[in-house]
Amino acid sequence: MANEQLKEKIIDYAHQIGIDKIGFTAADPFSEMKARLKMQQADNYQSGFEKGSNAERTEPKLHVSDAESIIAIAVAYPSRMKARPVNKKGERRGNFCRASWGMDYHTVLNDKLNQLNRFIENLVPGFRSRIMVDTGELSDRAVAERAGIGFSGKNCAIITPEFGSYVYLGEMITNVPFTSDVPVDDGCGDCTKCLDACPTGALVAPGRLNAKNCIAFLTQTKDFLPDEYRDKLGNQLYGFDTCQLVCPKNKGVDFHLHDAFEPEPDKVKPELLPLLSISNREFKETFGHMAGSWRGKKPLQRNAILALAHYREERAVEELDRLMRTDPRPVIRGTAAFAIGKIGRRDSYRLIQQARLSETDEAVIAEMEKGLAFELVYQN
Ligand code: SF4
């Protein structure tokens, strides 16, 4: 079968299985990315979640030795919930970013790419491929940009003309020489809304992210959250959407094309207090299918504690006190102490002082001191 005909068949099939956009590019090295990676590493701007050496991240042939092309896919996700959680009076809720709504996209996109792989295998004898979705060595964004899925915005997201930046990306390196598609023209122009809106200055320049300052990354860390970001977190439990929400290319964009990505309101905006005492089993049952659970419950609980501190929710103090005194995880004990101080209930400082008498962990004691320091702040 001629490659153009084969390409048409693949595009048709991809649409049938719910791939919203597909593009093709040669499996040439991503040479311009190498210099960018070196710069990011020199400036210590990487998150640490990246996989592979610089060569593995930029040379498709290291993954499929006879690689000829890469098929890039995009699957759209919604930006608005159809229903909101029903709030009881005084209830405080946290927030998961949109990319964590519904079923974990890694699972959904891997399934689609595996289906596509089987389809091509049946048409092409000797077909070889390697699939990647987010956690692979190649940059999904670099592939998508070159394969004509969208342009790379100043906010570092791929922006498609059809679905804005609300798309999940994945790719398949293949040994078939498909003709390449044409990249989408850059569409940011003079706009700088995402850079202006970033609360931590993580977008250090157009298209340049210091991942270590990015709230989306910070929500996924497991240690104490550095002091300077605690207020900026607000009620965010996982990820962060501001640089997408302010983007004019996303104005009015809200596609509900896949049931799998429909958010369950009570799960993507969960009540904060019950999260503090959730068991491992309950956590897995409630949140285990969501992308936002991949780091386990500790970062989400730490963020929930900070969200309660942000709201200065006095009704949380009993539960926070229990955590401060009895939780085996120093990050949770210490963050709870900080939160009790920040909430500033009448008995906050007595509770921290009492717990401090039996605390032996230096890092937790330091957090207790921070909690106690709020007393002076509120007095003045
Ligand atoms: Fe580009 Fe403006 Fe969107 Fe940022 S907000 S990605 S500058 S269009």
Q: Could you give the 3-state DSSP secondary structure of residue 29?
A: coil
Residue identifier of the C-alpha nearest atom 5 of ligand 1 = 247
Ranges assigned E (strand) in 116-157: 129-132, 151-152
Does the structure's ipTM exceed the value 0.90?
yes
pLDDT digits (tens, 9 = 90+) for 194-227: 999 999 999 999 999 999 999 999 999 999 999 9
Q: Could you give the 3-state DSSP secondary structure of residue 20?
A: coil
CB neighbours of 157 closer than 8 A, spacing ≥ 6? 141, 165, 243, 244, 247
What pLDDT score does 1 carry?
67
Distance 255 CA to ligand 1 centre (A): 20
Q: What is the pTM of this model?
A: 0.94
Residue 366 Cβ < 6 Å to ligand 1: no
| Two tokens, residue 67 | 């690689």
| Two tokens, residue 195 | 């850079």
CB neighbours of 295 closer than 8 A, spacing ≥ 6? 220, 222
Residue identifier of the C-alpha nearest atom 3 of ligand 1 = 247
pLDDT digits (tens, 9 = 90+) for 141-169: 999 999 999 999 999 999 999 999 999 99
Q: Of the residues 28, 134, 181, 266, which is catalytic? A: 134
Q: If you write DSSP's letter for every residue of 42-105 in order, what string do you get? A: HTT---S---S-HHHHH-GGGTSTT--EEEEEEEE--SS-SS---PPTT--B-EE-GGGSSS-H
Distance 250 CA to ligand 1 centre (A): 9
| Residue written as token pair 């005084």 | 90
Distance of CA 370 to the CA centre of its chain: 29
Burial class (CB in 10 A: 0-12, 13-18, 19+), 2: exposed
> How far apart are the C-alpha atoms of 338 and 355, rounded to whole Å?
12
Distance 204 CA to ligand 1 centre (A): 14
Among 249, 250, 251, which residue has the most ligand 1 atoms within 8 Å of its CB, making it the best to mutate? 249
Catalytic (active site) residue 254: no
Residue 232 Cβ < 6 Å to ligand 1: no
pLDDT digits (tens, 9 = 90+) for 245-284: 999 999 999 999 999 999 999 999 999 999 999 999 999 9
Residue 245 Cβ < 6 Å to ligand 1: no
Residue identifier of the C-alpha nearest atom 4 of ligand 1 = 194
pLDDT band at 47 (very low <50, low <70, confident <90, very high): confident
> How far apart are the C-alpha atoms of 221 and 294, rounded to whole Å?
11
Residue identifier of the C-alpha nearest atom 6 of ligand 1 = 153
Ligand 1 atom nearest to 246, measured from its CA: 5
